[in-house]
Structure formats: C-alpha cells, structure tokens
Structure 1
C-alpha cells in the first residue's frame, strides 16, 4: 500500500467521521465539514485539516504517471494525519487522565488538618463539602492569604485558634468559580470551559470537578486546573 493510498484511506475516515458525528448531508464537502464542525478536536486542528484536504485534492485530481500519484505524501505526513484521526475519533478523556483522590473538608471542620494535607501534598486549593458530602465552595491559597490578612492585629500579630473552614468562606474572591464535567468529557472540551470563562468573564475558572455524570451530588473522581490541562492540548 503506497503512502498516497494510506493517506487517502485515513482522510476518508476523517471525512466520514465528521459527516456522521455532525450529521452532515452527503453534498457537504470536507472543508465545509471542518469549518462548521462541533467536534472540539477538529476545531482545534482546523488549519491542519484544511491543509490535509488540499493535499488530498492534489493526489486525487492530478493524473497519475506510471500508475503512481504525482503527490506522494511523506511518511511523517501519513503519521500526522493518522494521529489526528485518532485524536478526533477517540480523544483523551478527563478520566483516567485526571483521576485521583480529591482531598477536601467540611464547613464545620477545623482548618488544621486540611492545611497539613495541603503542605504534605503540595496542592493549592481544596473543595468545601456540605453535610451531604457535596461540593459547596472552593478554598485556595489566595483565600487563605486574605483571611490571614484580616486577622492581623495593629502590631502585626496573628492569633489563630479554633478556626473552622466556614470562617474562610467570606474571603473567597469569586464564589462558586468552578464547573462539573462527566468522566467521559474529552480533555479538549474541558479545556474549552477554561477558555470560555476567560473570554466571557475575563477570569479563569479555579477548577473543573469530575464526577461520573457531571452532577454535583456525585462522588468526586478528580479535578483539573488550567495548568494541569494546558500542556495536553
């Protein structure tokens, strides 16, 4: 099988996948599919896909010489379109990519233990759970710093005794600044939630929480920050 044959086979797989996933009519051409697709991966790699379409046209519409295509793709080009098809048809999901035990605390718990865990595991934020074990807020390092500043005496002394998680909630800068997604959400869809928040509100989401179906009353399977996901997409 020549590189041009391999290339056209993968190209057709991408074309058919976009047609089925976006429910396009048969007369819609490849470039129209790419430009109007709802597929997050195809949107992200739109320019590459359009370039692949141009190469496909060069292979198909030019006459062969000695029964060989004039435009014969390099091995790297075949690998690139193959990898892109895999990303489009089977993108990485947030689970298991970001699956881990999420440490948090209830409102009525003292902050001592959760602060020790934050230092031990080098994490910068934790969810606050209500009595039903559902997330009701998020505490981060900035919240803790603002709270500590509010406790300063005139001489700069800080006296901290019997402080509960609930005491920190008033210092949260942006309340409920998080989203929930299901375990089957692609990393590209999750990343777009961060970008959409920035575009709409000129600030970033603190985290995205992952549950089985994306519902708030389900067990947390993991969480994502924009720093976690940026390098993957």
Structure 2
C-alpha cells in the first residue's frame, strides 16, 4: 500500500472514531450514515464537510475492499484527497477557537461619551464599533451603520442637534438590540459562523473570557473578519 493510501486511511479511521464517539458508539451504523446523522445536528460542523466525507467513504471502500493484493490497491488517493481529509480531520477533531485567531485590542467607551466625540473618532481613527459601558457594566453596542440610521432619522425632524447628545441617549432612543453577541474564549470559529448565518441583524461577536458581557474584551469578530484578518478596527 502506498504512502498516500496509508495516510488517507489513518485520517479516515480517526474521523470514523470521532463520529462514533459523537453518536455514542452506534454498533451497526456505517460511516456514511453517521455522517448524515451528524450533519443534521445543530452546532455540528459536519454539515460543511458532508459531501466531501461521503465521497471519501467511497474512496476508502475502493482502497480497502477492491485491492488486488495486500500491497497493491486500485485506488491510490492523490495529494488533494490526502490534504483534504487531513484538513477535515483537523477541523472536526480539533476545531479552531476564536482565540487566538481573533484576538485584538478592543476599546470600550463610557455611556457619557458625546455623539460629537464618537463622530470625531470615526473620522480620525476609522473606528466602526463602539462597545458602551457604564461603571464597568456593558450597556450596548453602537456601530457606524446604526449611527448613520439614527442621523438619517433625526434629519427628517429638521436640523440635527448633536450638542449635549451622548451614547446613552442613542442607546435609549433607538438602538436596536440583537446586533451583537458575546462568546467565551473557547468558542469554536464554526459556531460563530453559524451565529452570523442565523441572525441577519448580527453585526459583531464580542469575546470575553467566559462570555460575560461585563468581562474584559479580548477580541471582536465581524462578518468580514471570518474571511480576512488584519483589517484595522
């Protein structure tokens, strides 16, 4: 048996064991059925890999059951198949966590900060998210998008008057809830992806040690961060 076939089967077998463990060791269920069952479960990353895993099962059967001799197999996996099943194994058995991938300094702002100051920060530093606190307690989350909507609404009432307006006023007047979520540092990246997919209003996921909104901010994830890192906040 070639090196690729051996490496492929090793990964395949580890994935099969993981599937059995997740389903409490069903004695008579085959790999393909276990894959389909797990793909239907909520909070399971298997759905993302279902089609590939089902095709991998066919390749595995060809290697194991259709070999000409002990040392010669008809279907020798190519480099792509070996790389892909290794990647899937890693994602299933050791899924990436939100930290350290999305670790970054996140600035919190007091509820008393003026809207004029927020606009100056947006213009100068290009910040787009403002976690708002009062005496160490999380109170809400202001985004540039929400701020723009508020300004548009205010403009329909006549001249926009910012003097004396604070972040607290914005949160009290308008601010929609549900545009943010908190997660703990051990949350899996695929779980955050599912959060964005299931909530179209979600604009950011904030990371604290245990998901407590009043905890120290360790990072922030926006939809675009899931696809490219390193963008300036």
Deviation digits for residues 171-226 of structure 1, max 9, x if unmatched?
Answer: 32x224321111111111111011122xxxxx331211111112223222111111
Gaps of 5+ in 1: 198-202
Residue pair 1:191, 1:230 contacting (<8 A) in 2 also: no
Residue pair 1:138, 1:176 contacting (<8 A) in 2 also: no
User: In the alignment, which residue of structure 2 is the partner of 1:57?
Assistant: 61
Whether 1:90 aligns to 2:94 is: yes
Whether 1:194 aligns to 2:191 is: no
How big is the alpha-carbon RMSD for the aligned residues of Structure 1 and Structure 2? 2.4
Q: Which runs of 4+ in 1 moved over 6 A?
A: none
Mapped to 1, the partners of 2:53 and 2:138 lie a distance apart of 40
> Which aligned pairs between 1:9-28 and structure 2 lie closer than 5 A?
9-28=10-29
Mapped to 1, the partners of 2:122 and 2:106 lie a distance apart of 11
Whether 1:41 aligns to 2:45 is: yes
User: In the alignment, which residue of structure 2 is the partner of 1:168?
Assistant: 170
1:113 Cα shift? 3.8
Residue pair 1:63, 1:70 contacting (<8 A) in 2 also: yes
> 3-state DSSP class of the match of 2:148?
helix
User: In the alignment, which residue of structure 1 is the partner of 2:214?
Assistant: 217
User: In the alignment, which residue of structure 2 is the partner of 1:226?
Assistant: 223
Deviation digits for residues 26-50 of structure 1, max 9, x if unmatched?
Answer: 3221112211225633221111011
TM-score by length of 2: 0.85
User: In the alignment, which residue of structure 1 is the partner of 2:121?
Assistant: 117
Gaps of 5+ in 2: none
Whether 1:100 aligns to 2:101 is: no
TM-score by length of 1: 0.85
1:55 Cα shift? 0.5
1:146 Cα shift? 3.3
Whether 1:184 aligns to 2:181 is: no
User: In the alignment, which residue of structure 2 is the partner of 1:205?
Assistant: 202
The number of aligned residues is: 224
User: In the alignment, which residue of structure 1 is the partner of 2:151?
Assistant: 148
